[in-house]
Every structure is written in structure tokens, then in C-alpha cells.
Chains A and B, each alone.
Chain A
């Protein structure tokens, strides 16, 4: 087990390097440091000296990937790519191109992101599993048929519709919650309600269908037939036998996305004006603040890989048949 984990961590290393290379290439091909400096300093009346100074302060005055003027290993290390990447691996994100401390920003914005993402996930799980169980319990009835039809309809509706309709109905017409924005402390609740509701509703269609297939797959197995032959009641079969077994793929699926909750949802946050990490990233992209984007992409990939490892571990915990070698 320890050996397995060690191997996974080592395997994560080249992936993170790859991710870094891709983001680096994407953004530096788009704008070379000179353009970046011009943009941050304002387009007009920028002297070449000011640009050089800006670049030097942020360490952008080195060659991109390969330093022809240096000797030996320094040819590779004295470059923007290497210098910036090493700091990322040490989680020293430094300052954004506009001069703010990225780590402090991230810490500050993590709260709102989690305040949206965690309730959405938990509530969504409860709602989806409940509906899926109901559909399975009433299988081969009109209830199941109409339930499934409702799922397809929900699935086919654009997420934008839920957002706009939610904001219009609850925010403008009924004036129950603010349309967008965020507040600290207890006042956050009223800002969080609508995004969470929208998040849960827009996930119901596909979620219920997916969980239902898991339950149906389980219910066709031999041990369920045996249980039924023993004379167990249908609710007992569902809750004692089907649910725990079907929960294995559900839980491991949830574990995989747990770490990513920190990053929040890019889209929900920018629609509802939540000052979380998702809108932080979107804003950084539109301002072309490369330092922030690179830090967030790195963090995202690291958390994704963490999610993969956690999934493997959770399999061994909930399913004794699985062993990691």
C-alpha cells in the first residue's frame, strides 16, 4: 500500500510538468512578456525601460525555454519556464502580474467557493439518490416512466435556463434572495441559497438517471434474487442490500471530485458574482494575468491527481475485494 502510494505520487510529477508545459506554451505563445508588461502598465506611453524593469521585477527577463548564453545545466535552469515551475512545485505562487499575493488571495477566496460547492454536492447527492431509489422501488409502473421522462426533460434544458429563471423568479419577482453577490458571516446564507438550488436542480436529470442505472444493475444480481426468495420485503432488499453495494461506485465517484471542490465552479461563480476561486480564475483569464492562471491550473491538476489517488484508496476501504499492489 505504501509502495503503491509512493509510486502514484512519483507518477504525479511528470503529469504536473506536462500540465505546466501546456499552460506555459498556450499563454506565452499568446503574449510574450513584452506584451504582458505593456498590458499591465497600460498600453500607451510605456517606455522600453519601464517594460524591462517590470520584466526584471517579475523574473520575465530570461529566455523562455532554453538559455543559449548560460553554461551546462544552467542552460535549462536559467529560463522563465524552469524558474516559474520550480516555485509552483514548492507551492510558492508568488505575486500576480498586477502585484497581489496569490496565496493570500487563494486563502481568502476558498471560503465562498466551498460555501457553494459543498452544500451543492451534499444536497445533490441526497436528492439524486432519493429519487433514484424511488424510481427503482416503483419500477415497471407509470411512476417510473414519467420519472424517467422528467429526467430527460431536465437534462435537455440548458443550465443557463435554470440560472436565468432562478434569478428572475426568486430574485426579481419574489424578491426572496439577492440576484447575485456575496456577503461575509451569516449574511452569506441568503447569497448561497440560489446558486445551490440552481446547482442541484441542473444536476438532477443526469444524476438520477446515472444512479438509477447503478441500482438497476445491482438489483438484477443473484444475491438480490436469493434475498427475495428468502421472503425479504422490497424496502428491506433495497436498503439493506442494494443501497450499500450500489453506494460503492457512487462514493468513489464523489471522492474523486472532493479535492476539486476547493476550486469552486468556474461558471456558477461568475454567473452569481461569488468572489470564489472559480470567478478568480475567469477574471484572471480575461485580464490575461498569467501568474494567477498558471497557479490555478497547477493547483487544479494537483487536486485532480489527489482525487485519483483518493479514489483508489477509498475502493480498498469500502470494497475488501480490491487490493492495491
Chain B
């Protein structure tokens, strides 16, 4: 077993470390702690943040890759954790909780005759003697799983109570965190218990478990939503502040740059860039040794190009704000005292535009996750081999024409995406309300 570090893995963990460092820094700054206290008072905000943290944990677990010694496959920690889901694949479609395949096959009967039948699934409900017993068994397992989840939740609460003290745990924000975690744990454990015996969300065309695909897609969504900002931030922040602060020809040049980029339709730019990457990869096959590396490179490149098309909005906002800040007395005073430009930017301008950066990063996140699905749907998104909600939808859209309808892949992809984006949107609203000084008094 040897570790494999993909580009996106490294960047994602770097970003996570950055966020952690920022959180530590915030704890010591009174003016930054105030908005966070406001967020902590909002139940929606805390609940949304807890859900996001759960998604992020899955995404991060899925970002620690290693090469299996046995067969040389690159798998992630998450893959190992949910190995039964990954390995137990059927022949083709099967509905959620099904015991039989979606398509009929010729089967040899015990008496030697042949019949055109729905065969039993290899794994889904295979333990059942009588398939008609299925729903009773499902209920039992669901109750058992829910019970285990509740037990874990109780243990967790005890642990939290020891750390925080019972009083703090009884009141928001910790009560909200605990409640949200409780719901997540019970649902999660129920699904986990059931998925040991069934395909909870069915299987897809090649028989892969849809729940497994949905869980793997979390990482893709997370990466698109976060790494893009990593590209966007230096461009938007640096250029916006510099343009507003220095003015003159620098301002003209930067304005020219973003007007030009803005006037090219974004989809065109993305499509052209993805084509370019494909041609480059075809010409330099020796650099992309495995499918995983190839898909990862494309994902990274998509983040890059999405970042390049989306920094202009932030840049414009920051330029306008810096134009205002530049005329403030404290900046004028600093300049009169002979403080150098870089120091003024660092000490007086950056801290005062920080809230704009934070708000726009959080607001952009959900849009980017949704954009990934649309782009993958028109084949200019992530690599077709990458697990993503967009690819799931793309592969399943034609199946609505079948009789009976194959709805589960679509439903699973939309449901996961909806939960993720809803949590992000709710959190973004709370962050905006807390950090926007115009709304501070309310």
C-alpha cells in the first residue's frame, strides 16, 4: 500500500488548513468574532453549517488516496470505509430495495426447462429466503440501524457534555449542532445498516450502487465549489484592490482586462478551454499515466477555468469599495505619515474589504456546484469517468423513456445536490447578514 497524492487532494487539504488557520486567527480578533457570534445565534446558520461539515468530512475522506497493494487500484479512504457498496455490483439496473433485476433473463429452472424471468440479485436482498418478506426485513433493519445511530448520538452527546458542560449543550448553538448531528446520525446509520443487505438507492446501468456514486460525487462538488475560489481569490482580490487604490493607468488596464473577459460568453470560454485540454492530453499521453490522474487533471483544470471566468464580479466589487476606502481619513493619515503602499494595503485596505471577500466566496459556492452539473451535462464539465452528480444525471436522463421508468439515479443525484446546495445557500444568507455592515444594526 502506498499513498497517492492527487493535485486536487493536495489543494483541498491546503485549503482546509487555510480555513482552520483563519478560524484560529479569528478567535483572537474581537471585531471578527462579533459576526461569528451572530451566526452562532442563528439556528438555520448553525444547522446548515453542521450539514456542510458532514458533507465536507465525506469529501475529505474521499480525498486521501492510496494504491492498493493487492490489485494496484487507486482507492480512497472513503472507498475502504464503504467497501461493500463499491464491490457489490449487480449486472444492470435494479430498483431501490429490489430483490430482482430490472431486466428479464433466460433462466434454467430446477426441472430443466427454461424460462424468461427476472433473476434474483446477487447481493440485494440475497439473504432472504422468501422475497415477499422484504418489507418486514427492511423495517427491522431500519429500526436496528436507527437505534444504533441514536445510541452513537447519545454517546457523542455525553462526550460533548463532558467537554462543554451540560448547560452549554442545552442551549443554542450547541443544542442545534447536537440536534442536527442526531438527525444525520440516525439517517446515516439507518441507510448504512440497510445498505449492507440492499441497494438502498438501486443500481445503475452497469450495476453499480447508486448510493456509492452519490457519496463519491460529494468530493467533486466540494472541489469545484472550493478550489475555484482558490483561483478566483488572488485574481479578484489582488487586481480589484490594486485598481481601486492606485487608480490611473493601472485602473484602466485592469478595467480593460475584466471588461474584455466579461464580454466573452462564459460557456464559450469554458468549452474552448476544455477542448484545448483534451487536445493537449491526447498529444502528451505519456504525462497522464493513469485514468485517475487524467480525470483529476481535468477536474483541476475545470476549477482553473471556472475561476478565470468568475473573478471579474469580485474584482469589480472590491475596486469600488477600495475607491471609497482610499479617501478615508485613516488611509490619508497613514499616507501623510509616510507609510509605504504595500503596508497601507495590508494593514488598512485588506482588513476592511475582508467581509466582501467572505460574502462573495460563500455566495458563489452553491452556484458553482450547480454549474458543474450543467457543464457535465453538455460534456464540457468533469471527465466522464469522474463520479459527479452531473455525470449521473447525464447518464440517466435517457432512461426516463423506459417502461417502467428508471428514476432512481436521477432522484438520488438531484436529492444529494439539493441538500448540499440548500445547506450552502442557507449558510451563505446567514453569513451575509452577519458580515454586511449595512445589515449590522438589524
Contact = CB atoms under 8 A, between A and B. Distances in A.
A159 B375 CA distance: 11
A168 B378 contact: no
Q: How large is the interface on B (under 10, 10 to 19, 20 to 34, 35 or more residues)?
A: 35 or more
A266 B417 CA distance: 23
Contact of A160 (B260, B269, B272, B377): B377
B426 A304 contact: no
Given A156-B418, A157-B418, A300-B264, A164 B397 contact: yes
B265 A300 contact: yes
Interface stretch (B17-25, B188-196, B366-374): B366-374
Contact of A158 (B262, B374, B400, B425): B374
Contacts of B273: 26
Contacts of B260: 15, 18-19, 22, 301
Contacts of A310: none
A19 B265 CA distance: 10
Given A168-B400, A301-B263, A285 B426 contact: no
Contacts of A90: none
A159 B393 CA distance: 12
Contacts of B272: 23, 26-27, 30, 285, 293
Give the one of A27, A156, A159, A270 with max B CB within 10 A: A156
A158 B414 CA distance: 7
Given A266-B267, A285-B275, A297-B268, A164 B410 contact: yes
B276 A29 contact: yes
A155 B370 CA distance: 10
Contacts of B400: 164, 168, 172
Interface string B388-425: 01100100010011000000001000100110011011
A86 interface: no
Contacts of A143: none
A23 B264 CA distance: 9
Interface string A162-191: 001000100010000000000000000000
Given A29-B276, A155-B425, A15 B374 contact: no
A250 B306 CA distance: 27
B429 interface: yes
A301 B264 CA distance: 6
Contact of B393 (A23, A164, A285, A308): A164
B378 A158 contact: no
A300 B263 contact: yes
Contacts of B418: 156-158, 161
B256 A18 contact: yes
Which of the listed residues A23, A158, A293 has the most CB atoms from chain B within 10 Å of its own CB? Answer: A158
A153 B425 CA distance: 9
B52 to A, nearest CB: 13
A30 B279 contact: yes
A14 interface: yes
B230 interface: no
A104 interface: no
B422 A152 contact: yes
Nearest to A153: B422
A221 to B, nearest CB: 14
A173 to B, nearest CB: 10
A31 interface: yes
Contacts of B325: none
B271 interface: yes
A275 to B, nearest CB: 17
B48 to A, nearest CB: 10
Nearest to B262: A304
A152 B263 contact: no
B275 A267 contact: no
B138 to A, nearest CB: 28
B374 A267 contact: yes
A18 B260 CA distance: 6
Contacts of A22: 260-261, 264, 269
A216 to B, nearest CB: 11
Interface string A278-307: 000110011010000100110011001100
B385 interface: no
A117 interface: no
A263 interface: yes
B370 A159 contact: yes
A83 to B, nearest CB: 21
A263 B374 contact: no
B414 A285 contact: no
B103 to A, nearest CB: 21
B106 to A, nearest CB: 31
B401 A152 contact: no
Contacts of A157: 414, 418, 421
A159 B271 CA distance: 19
A297 B401 contact: no
A186 to B, nearest CB: 28
- Give the most central of B261, B279, B393, B400: most A CB within 10 Å: B400
Nearest to B423: A156
A144 to B, nearest CB: 14
Contacts of B370: 158-159
Nearest to A270: B378
B268 A293 contact: yes
A224 B279 CA distance: 60
Contacts of A23: 264, 268, 272
B259 interface: yes
Contacts of B271: 282, 285
A15 B377 contact: no
Contacts of A301: 260, 263-264
Contacts of B268: 23, 266, 281, 285, 293, 296-297, 300
A102 to B, nearest CB: 16
B283 to A, nearest CB: 10
Q: Name the residue in B272, B366, B390, B414 with the highest tally of chain A Cβ atoms < 10 Å from its Cβ.
A: B272
A153 B429 CA distance: 13
Nearest to A281: B268
Contacts of A26: 269, 272-273, 276
Given A26-B272, A293-B268, 18 more contacts: A15-B259, A15-B260, A22-B264, A26-B269, A26-B276, A30-B279, A156-B425, A158-B421, A160-B377, A267-B267, A281-B268, A282-B267, A282-B271, A285-B271, A285-B272, A288-B275, A297-B264, A301-B264
Interface of B: 256, 259-265, 267-269, 271-273, 275-276, 279, 366, 370, 373-374, 377-379, 389-390, 393, 397, 400-401, 410, 414, 417-418, 421-422, 424-426, 429
22 contacts: A18-B256, A19-B263, A19-B264, A152-B422, A157-B418, A158-B418, A159-B370, A161-B414, A164-B397, A164-B400, A172-B401, A266-B267, A267-B378, A281-B265, A285-B268, A285-B272, A286-B379, A288-B275, A293-B268, A297-B268, A300-B268, A304-B263
Q: Which 6 A-B pairs have the closest CB atoms?
A: A301-B263, A18-B260, A156-B422, A304-B263, A156-B421, A26-B272
